[in-house]
Chains A and B, each alone.
Chain A
């Protein structure tokens, strides 16, 4: 519905003259052209810095300063290996994967359990617990920063994966519970009833019947949580203060500071590229699901 559209609009002006006045038609065409230009410009603005970073990651410092816009003279892969080992990008990457993997799993497990019970069982205090969770959506995390630090410190969980994972889970619960409980409410009750008549326990009913039925909602929220937790910066900055426990976002910010002292610009570009590339690959495969998952909260 693309090239043909453009071509088809001009002859249609002659064949069906009653489709609006000619002046509005040509006005529309000029606007359409201008619009096309605006879109191309923004696409360049988005792609430009990323592409430029990739090119620069293979250059040496002299090239970066003298010819920022040309292709690198040779593929200097040593920039990448230096960033991976010496600047510890590999370590930071590993930390992020561990923390986000565990905490997303925990969030989905605990969040779906709570959401399911709140959505499909009537009991005293149901509404209270539900609003307790949902109210968490309204609080800015900065309000809790100092006491949160103290709570984690008192548990002896500062600078531990466990501490960060538990905190990530806790702060991801409001949205997860809010979204999933709305989703569980939409599921038909007849299947559940049939399963109970067949002697299925509540727990088995949840894990073997209801959870598989909620798959599409679970996928959306999982993507939402993975991307949100991967991008988290504030909580690790407060709770992970020793450099070997840094997650990727912290690590890249740190590398940027160090690059300033050591003037290792190509290393910084390589580190940046390394943190961007996986996102491009993941996005290329799951582009539809990711767009749907991230916008799920805003579209009813």
Chain B
């Protein structure tokens, strides 16, 4: 294996590493530098130290965006994981036991296929789909229904109190199926005899769920939480396409990613946008570290 190894290794690595350095590593490294400059794109960047960060601290829009990311970070994983766990449990063990083996409810295969489908749709497509679902007159799916019942139409995306929740609901709609499949795989790897033993001891569905399924699924839950947290920090496509005025009405749905994009490509404040990017980077890092620390517990071998 040793003959002429280095030319081969170099030949195989050269192109991928070069591409990766050019388009990924170098932009990331530059971002930290640009965040310390004032740069509008034409004249070369001017070094201003931490001024951008000081301005960030007083920027109301920035903190509003952070707050919305915070809400997303809390609500999106909580709702998605709760729904996905419930559905996965019903699909896999909801049918009760028969001759000692746990089985899913009737039609479980069908549900698994259908629930997963929205995951295949790109987020902007989902966003446009929900624009039509939420439309504030009789041509919207929900309001068409409400108005047939003689109720007032609801301005899901126009009402500042509702808009963020309507956006989160669309995200949940898209995400749940992926986690149903993920948790199903986790549940399938739990040995059936644990369920049998618990059922023989008289444990009902609820007890089985909280005492058997949940503890044994902990590692998968942790992964799900991190994934959804990262999605909550992003949220660019859904907010940019679904909300009124890219983060409106009146900034009530804006998130960091949208503000970064707006500052960079609408206002040409490259330095300031990069400072926001660095802030987002540290938020993400803190979140990941915290999640892994807080949720760490002894893993159960089975």
Using CB atoms and an 8 Å cutoff, list the residues of chain A in contact with chain B. Answer: 1-6, 8-9, 12, 19-21, 24, 27-29, 31-32, 35-36, 38-39, 42-43, 45-50, 52-53, 56, 64-66, 68-69, 110-111, 113-114, 116-118, 121, 123, 129, 132-133, 136, 138-140, 142-152, 166-167, 169-171, 173-174, 177, 192-193, 196, 202-203, 206, 227, 230-234, 237-238, 248-250, 252-253, 255-256, 265, 268-269, 272, 275-276, 279-280, 282-283, 287, 290-291, 294-295, 298-299
Contact = CB atoms under 8 A, between A and B. Distances in A.
Contacts of B227: 298
16 contacts: A31-B206, A32-B105, A49-B129, A121-B5, A123-B9, A138-B288, A146-B31, A146-B274, A170-B19, A173-B19, A249-B123, A250-B124, A272-B129, A283-B117, A298-B220, A298-B223
A110 B182 contact: no
Given A20-B199, A117-B12, A132-B20, A298 B182 contact: yes
B261 A145 contact: yes
Contact-residue bracket for chain B = 35 or more
B176 interface: yes
B215 interface: no
A117 B8 CA distance: 9
B156 interface: no
Contacts of A56: 132
A25 to B, nearest CB: 8
A279 B129 CA distance: 15
Contacts of A173: 16, 19-20, 24
B153 interface: no
B19 A110 contact: yes
What are the 3 closest A-B residue pairs judged by CB atoms, nearest first? A231-B122, A170-B23, A144-B27
A65 B139 contact: yes
Given A147-B27, A272-B128, A142 B277 contact: yes
A114 B13 contact: yes
A240 to B, nearest CB: 13
A123 B6 contact: yes
B167 interface: no
Interface string B52-92: 00000000000000000000000000000001001100110
A142 B138 contact: no
Contact of A19 (B132, B200, B241): B200
Interface in B277-300: 277-278, 280-281, 284-285, 288
Contacts of B105: 32, 35-36, 39
Contacts of B177: 46
B178 interface: yes
B242 to A, nearest CB: 9
A196 B5 CA distance: 12
Given A31-B206, A291-B116, A291-B181, A145 B277 contact: yes
A233 B242 CA distance: 13
Query: Taking each of A24, A50, A143, A233, which has the highest tally of chain B beta carbons within 10 Å of its own beta carbon?
Result: A143
B125 A272 contact: yes
Nearest to B273: A146
Contacts of A280: 117
Query: Taking each of A50, A174, A202, which has the highest tally of chain B beta carbons within 10 Å of its own beta carbon?
Result: A202
B28 interface: yes
Contacts of B91: 39
B95 A5 contact: yes
A265 B139 contact: yes
A56 to B, nearest CB: 8
Contacts of B122: 230-233, 248-249, 275
Contact of A53 (B127, B132, B288): B132
A8 B98 contact: yes
A103 to B, nearest CB: 11
Interface in B181-205: 181-182, 185-186, 199-200, 202-205
A256 B128 contact: yes
B95 to A, nearest CB: 5
Contacts of B273: 145-146
Interface string B2-26: 0011101101110111011011111
A6 B237 CA distance: 43
Contacts of A111: 16
Contacts of B24: 136, 139, 144, 170-171, 173-174
